[in-house]
Structures are given as C-alpha cells and as structure tokens.
Amino acid sequence: MTPAPASPLDAFLHAIPKLELHCHLFGTVRHDSFAALNRRAGRPLADEEIEGFYTRGEKPVGVLRVLRALDAWLVRVPDDLHRLTFEYLEDAAAHNVRYAEFFWNPTGTVRDSGIAYRSAQEAIVRAIHDAKDEFGITGRLIAAIDREASPEAAVEMVGWVTANLCEEVIGIGIDYREVDRPPELFQEAYRDARRAGLKTTAHAGEFGMPWTNVRTALDVLQVDRIDHGYTVVDQPEFARECAERGVLFTVVPTNSYYLRTLPPERWALDHPIRRMPGLGLRIHPNTDDPTLHKVTPTQAWGMMVRDFGFGLDDLRGFMHNGLDGAWIDDTTRREWRVQWSAEFDALRAQLPQDQITSED
C-alpha cells in the first residue's frame, strides 16, 4: 500500500499523470519476491546480500552480483517473469504511472536462466495484459542488449525479437557497464532492429563516459532517444545540436555514478541534470531501478524540484517531453497531451502558494 503523501507538494507529485521510459525489470524486484526466489533456489545468495540490495546508504555501490543472480540462479520458469512484471506494473500504477516502457535483457534469460525466448516474452506480455486489466496501466517492453556480452550475442538477441514481433515489444536498448563497451560495437544489432521496424534507444554518457558515446549512439546506431546522456553537457556545441534535433534524454535523478563521485553537499548542485535544460536539451525523469535506487516515480519527480531546483512549469514541460518521446501512436500522443495537461493544471491550481517554487 502506498503511504499517504507527506505534504501538499507530495500529493501533487503523486497525483500528476506520469509515464516511465527508462526502467529495468530486474531493478524493480520487490524485497519479498527476491527473498522468495532465493529461498526456492536454495539460498545461493546470503540473506545479508539481499538485505544490502535494499538498504544501501547515501552513496550507492555496485550490486551487479545480486542483479546477475536473478538470471544465474533465481529466475527459472516463465511464471517468474510474469510475477516480476506484474508486480512492477502494479507498483508503478500506484504512483499514477499510466504508461511504462521497461527494459528486459533476453540474453541472460535464455543463456543463464534456461528459458526460451518465446516463452519468456509470452510470460511478460501476459503480465502486461493482466496489469492493464487490473490497474489500467499500459506496459510496453524494450529488449535490451547486454553490452557486457559480445556483439554477436546482441545480433542473436535482436534476431529473437524480430522472429517474435508483437505489439507489446516495441524496441531495443542497451545497458549494463558502459566502460570499455562503446556503442559502435553493436552497430550491426541496431541496424537489424531498425530494418525490422523496431524503435531504438541506448544508454550512453552514463558512467562519466565521454560525450562522444552519445554522438556515436545518435549518428552511428541512429537511436531514437538517449538514456542518461549526462556527459553531453561537456560539449556545449554538440549539446546545442542535440537540442536542435529534439533528442529526448531519459534522465535518472538517483543516478548512482554522480551520487558516488560528487560530495554530498555538491552532488545536486553539480549534477548534469541541473544543467541540461539550460542547454536546450529535452529531458524526462525516470526511476531506472526503483527498488535498487530506493526511489518511487513520485520521489523521482520530487527530486527534480527539491534537489535540482526545477519549478512546476518545468515539470509540465518534462511531462510533455516524455509524451513526445514515448513510442506511442500520434493519435494517442495528442489525446494524452490534452488530457494530462488539463489534469496537471487542475492539480496545480489546488496547490497552496507556498508550495510553488520561485521559478513559477
């Protein structure tokens, strides 16, 4: 059950219509579900490892072993993927997320979990339908390349997707460790995806990696949008080009790289997210890995106000950016823009004046 909002601003942030374009399925797993899967597998993870996954301090540290354990030991049948997907969409809908595009890495599921691609996809799609019926949320799946695997594995994965095309699987992305895994390694996989009519996105410029990774993702991989992309601020001329091209950046207020590398008193002041709109860049806030980052959609939007100093006019613009960058049909986009704008404005009109920041 979602706790009652702590203030009128929190109530506003909770109630505004939202979409998510950048969220990883395995980063959404509920504590009880993770523990249950671990018990069923004979506890390959120590209980304290799982507890640490959910109780990290202010400066997040790497937890890839725990994430990788889901594929390696814990997820074993299609119904496990159904459970995780349904629970994520239920949790998102509780924060008035109306539409969610979320990532899943098929390579690990097929190679490590031993679940055939078609069976895995069918289970996730079934959960998408069940969540729509139960909670009214629309879910769409992005099959993500594991950039720590080989370029050949990426091509293979895209082949699975294109051989099993369906309405609910709308595109591909790429995630995991960006260091030493530049976007150009995966050019063939992206070419195959585009030829099949799939939308494309890529994590780039996330772990302090150079802004040129963003340029490569846009110009070589020819992606439709960028996930993270923070180092674009290091090259203002290229940032202006991105602004002119209308590139959407799906940003993450809780991005762990900057929480780790910037001092606590400076991280929010020096975080690139704060600078991106001033360069004309279109951004939209997302949770990325909500249970891993200990954040909800409401809190992610709240951080844009409380930590980065954006006003309500900015939030309205970010909402529009998300709608413009979502992989939905234009009729739906226009309808939602009118409807959601009216809801946002009505909720804003109810806010006490002292809850509205000076930018407004």
Whole-number pLDDT of residue 358: 41
Is residue 8 a part of any domain in this protein? no
Can you give the residue range of the structural domain that contains 75?
18-349
Q: What's residue 1's pLDDT?
A: 47
Structural domain contains residue 357: no
How many Å separate Cα 182 from the centre of its chain?
Answer: 20
Tokens of 158: 């895209």
Decide if 270 contacts 237 (C-beta within 8 A): no
Find the CATH number of the domain harbouring 292. Answer: 3.20.20.140
Structure tokens at 144: 């993500």
Question: What does the H/E/C string look like for 159-180?
Answer: HHHHHCCCCCEEEEEEECCCCC
Phi, psi of 34, rounded to the nearest 5 degrees: -60, -45
Query: What is the predicted pLDDT for the residue at 56?
Result: 62
In a domain, 7, yes or no: no
pTM: 0.94
The answer to the question of residue 295 being in a domain is yes
Give how many domains the chain has, as a whole number.
Answer: 1
Residue 198 domain flag: yes
Pick from 174, 35, 21, 34: which is nearest to 92 by CA? 21
**Residue 41 included in any domain:** yes
Return d(Cα 130, Cα 336) in angstroms, integer: 22
pLDDT of the chain, 360 residues: tens digit per residue: 455 557 999 999 999 999 999 999 999 999 999 999 999 999 999 888 888 888 765 555 556 777 889 999 999 999 999 999 999 999 999 999 999 999 999 999 999 999 999 999 999 999 999 999 999 999 999 999 999 999 999 999 999 999 999 999 999 999 888 888 999 999 999 999 999 999 999 999 988 889 999 999 999 999 999 999 999 999 999 999 999 999 999 999 998 788 888 888 899 999 999 999 999 999 999 999 999 888 999 999 999 999 999 999 999 999 999 999 999 999 999 999 999 999 999 999 999 876 665 444
User: Is 237 within the bounds of a domain?
Assistant: yes
